[in-house]
Amino acid sequence: MAEVRFEQVSKTFPARRGGAPVEVLRQLDLTIHDGEFLVLVGPSGCGKSTLLRILAGLETPSSGEVLVGDRAVTGLRPAQRNVAMVFQSYALYPHLSVAGNIGFGLRRSRPRSVPQLLQDSLHRLSQTLPRGLRIPSPREEAISRRIATVAEQLGLTPLLDRLPKELSGGQKQRVALGRAIARQPSVFLMDEPLSNLDAKLRTGTRAQIVDLQRQLGTTTLYVTHDQVEAMTMGHRIAVLSAGRLQQLGTPMQLYNWPSNLFVAQFIGSPPMNLLPVLAVGGDQVQLGSRRFLVEGPSGQALIRYTSGAYEGAITGGLRPETLKLAPAANRNIQAEITHVEALGNEALISCRLLDGGHLVQVRGDPSQQVLPGQTVHLEIDQAGWRFFDAAGEALPLPAAARGLAEAAAEPELPNIKA
């Protein structure tokens, strides 16, 4: 069990022929609490794998320090760091059985003397002999017990003698997981471990990984680009882009109060609708020729923003569920439906606002009968607005409102110590 800290970690890959050096991480600070499941998300190529590989010791940072517990590990070899990594490609040893793969790290983790080595080899070779002739080895027996426990936990017991090529994708995935947990590392690192599984298997394995992590309480850094994994698996999410941490918080904090336009667009599917609006003073914004009242913390942010007599163009964000089809009324806005996707439990309705022509997506009820070409009225949830300044940063919430918004559940960490 351990806390993980990245302190001012930078990574620049040297220039390839003709190219410029690639600056992947820029003075990144990030703390993963002891026992926490932290999900790292970001667009492809933003440096997620690089960050994980730096922690695993497979890559050295250009500058900065990585700590596991209170120990600086930057100078340590991968095997000395007590971290276990699960890759997208599983990376199983093809010539070893499931049992051999699960036990691999256990056999390698401690150096053995020559007589011990000999005893262990004889023990393994003698396993096919009658019981009385087998050579005992306490170490090998302990390893076998550990393999059996892990296999039981992951439902792999019937498969222990199989080779990786005789397993399905989901089973290989579980073996890779088994190899990681067998060593009881201080930290799990997982790099998009589910992306090679089909959708149904992904759901099951997702739940299994979460259960396992909560049970073991092992600090975990989990990389994904999958929305659902990001929202459902972690205690907190870290959003990485352009070499920097864009936001760190619980899934609901990021969803409800994105700190900038990047996070607003990246978290949530479909993404937040963005509209050019004018801050016109007080708690009102103008969209096209219409003014809208804004309630809640965003309304207070707006008042604070315009109280410096600053009025101007900002970006208004509305999640698809803060818009709804409503009767014709003065306060509602008119839109033409361009596309409808009925998903069974909900319908995603794309519309073009008649005033200004902006496109928005509305999360609707599938029982509403609407067709492309139809003109409808949309009601905006007055507390649903989020605002971003010209630089793309969220308008700061006043302290009182911030408390309210952030009370959106601090993550509860497991207190189980194995």
Which of 182, 175, 184, 179 lies closest to 155, judged by CA? 175
- Note whether 224 binds Mg ion by CB under 5 A: no
CA atoms of 192 and 229, how far apart (whole Å):
10
Comparing CB distances to Mg ion, the nearer of 51 and 254 is 51
Strands of the sheet containing 71-72, edge to edge, are 22-32, 4-13, 63-68, 71-72
Cα dist. 403→28, 61, 161, 393 in Å? 26, 36, 55, 19
Binding site for ligand ADP (CB under 6 A): 13, 22, 24, 42, 44-50
Residue 24 contact among Mg ion, ligand ADP, none, beta carbon within 5 to 8 Å by kind = ligand ADP
Report the partner that residue 13 touches, choosing among Mg ion, ligand ADP, none (CB closer than 5 to 8 A by kind): ligand ADP
Q: 15 or 383, CB closer to ligand ADP?
A: 15
The reply to whether 49 sits near Mg ion by the rule CB under 5 A is yes
Alpha-carbon dihedral sign for residues 236, 242, 243, 246? negative
CB of 237 to ligand ADP, least distance (A): 15
Reported as type and span, the H/E element at residue 7 is strand 4-13
Residue in 28, 33, 13 with CA at minimum distance from that of residue 245: 28
The C-alpha atoms of residue 278 and residue 299 are separated, in whole angstroms, by: 13
d(CA 349, CA 403): 34
Cross-strand partners of 5? 31, 67
* Alpha-carbon gap, residue 224 to 30, rounded angstroms: 17
Near Mg ion by CB under 5 A, which window of 12-20, 43-51, 289-297, 399-407?
43-51
Indicate the residue among 13 and 310 with the shorter CB distance to ligand ADP: 13
Least distance to ligand ADP from the beta carbon of 391, Å?
A: 24
Nearest residue to Mg ion, by Cβ distance, number only: 49
Select from Mg ion, ligand ADP, none the partner in contact with residue 47, using the beta carbon and a kind-dependent cut-off of 5 to 8 Å: ligand ADP
**How near is the Cβ of 22 to ligand ADP at its closest, in Å?**
5
Choose among Mg ion, ligand ADP, none what residue 22 binds, the Cβ cut-off being 5 to 8 Å by kind: ligand ADP
Span of 45-53, 96-104, 364-372, 373-381 interacting with Mg ion by CB under 5 A: 45-53
Q: How far is the CB of 15 from ligand ADP (least distance, A)?
A: 9
Nearest-5° Cα angle at 249, 247 to 250: 140
Least distance from C-beta 243 to ligand ADP, angstroms? Answer: 9
* 50 lines the binding site for Mg ion (CB under 5 A): no
Measured from the CB of residue 87, what is the shortest distance to ligand ADP in angstroms? 11
Evaluate whether 1 touches 70 at the Cβ level (below 8 Å).
no
Q: Which stretch binds Mg ion (CB under 5 A): 5-13, 48-56, 170-178, 384-392?
A: 48-56
- Smallest distance, Å, CB 190 to Mg ion? 11
Residue tagged 């439902």 (tokens) = 155
Closer CB to ligand ADP, residue 22 or residue 122? 22
Q: Which does 45 bind (CB under 5 to 8 A by kind): Mg ion, ligand ADP, none?
A: ligand ADP
Closest approach, Cβ 186 to ligand ADP, in A, equals 23
Residues 6+ apart with CB under 8 A from 139: 112, 116, 120
Q: How far apart are alpha carbons 112 and 142 in whole angstroms?
A: 15
Q: Which stretch binds Mg ion (CB under 5 A): 47-55, 102-110, 227-235, 247-255?
A: 47-55
38 vs 279 by CB, closer to Mg ion: 38
Interacting partner of 44 out of Mg ion, ligand ADP, none (Cβ under 5 to 8 A depending on kind): ligand ADP
Give helix then strand counts, H and E, for the chain: 11, 20
Q: Of 196 and 250, which has the nearer Cβ to Mg ion?
A: 196
How many angstroms separate the CA atoms of 261 and 286, rounded?
19
**CB closer to ligand ADP, 78 vs 414:** 78
Whose Cβ is closer to ligand ADP: residue 15's or residue 207's?
A: 15
Q: Which is nearer to ligand ADP, 36 or 191 (CB)?
A: 191
Cα separations in angstroms, 91 against 78, 127, 225, 287, 408? 16, 28, 20, 53, 39
Question: Which residues would be at the binding site for Mg ion (CB under 5 A)?
Answer: 49
